[in-house]
Amino acid sequence: MNETLNTIMTRRSCRQYQNECIKEDELITILEAGIQAPSAMNQQLCEAFAIINKDLIDELAKAIKDVFDERGDKKPETYHCAYHAPVLVIVSGPEYDSRRVEDGSCMLENMFLAATSLNIGSCWINQLRDTQNVDEVRNILTRIGIPANHQVVGCAALGYISSQSTIKEKKKERIHIVK
């Protein structure tokens, strides 16, 4: 199997990270892989905001937890939607762009694969999707630099792997070859 296929076949979501931040050149490589993704009509409207400030990631995770709690979806005190990963990349795109979910998802998958190829753990973090427009969360996104007209597509937690998640088998019956 070639290196690219091996990376695709071995990528798995990581939910336990070492505290140490990944190296800056590794982060830049992952972000550059992200922007190589295809985009509808080559518009390249989605952007990636990589947060490497632990306090800021914790503040965001706490604000998200508070929204869930207030909505009656009470989370344990230890809940941290980004699993204390040292890096959180937020991918967002303009609200008017009807293809931002597709474009942003391509960017995220490119980043997951690039991370895997560098032995860096990654996981899609989705909790901003339904909490991003609550004032307390949006204020933090604004401080991060996310434009007011952007909607978050998804996030990538990144970090050196502390413990591998269980390997989830892929359902092969989803493949159909039509002759």
Ligand X SMILES: Cc1cc2nc3c(=O)[nH]c(=O)nc-3n(C[C@H](O)[C@H](O)[C@H](O)COP(=O)(O)O)c2cc1C
The binding site for ligand X (CB under 6 A) comprises 12-13, 15, 123-127, 165, 168
The least CB distance from residue 178 to ligand X, in Å, is: 25
162 vs 178, beta carbon nearer ligand X: 162
CB nearer to ligand X: give 4 or 10. 10
As measured in angstroms, the least distance from the Cβ of 145 to ligand X is 22
Q: Residue 84 Cβ, how far from ligand X at the closest point, in Å?
A: 12
Question: Which of 156, 41, 146 is CA-nearest to residue 105?
Answer: 156
Within 13 Å of residue 137, how many CA atoms lie on the same side as its CB? 18
* Smaller CB separation from ligand X, 118 or 123: 123
Choose between 168 and 179: whose C-beta lies nearer to ligand X: 168
The CB-of-24 to ligand X minimum distance in angstroms stands at: 25
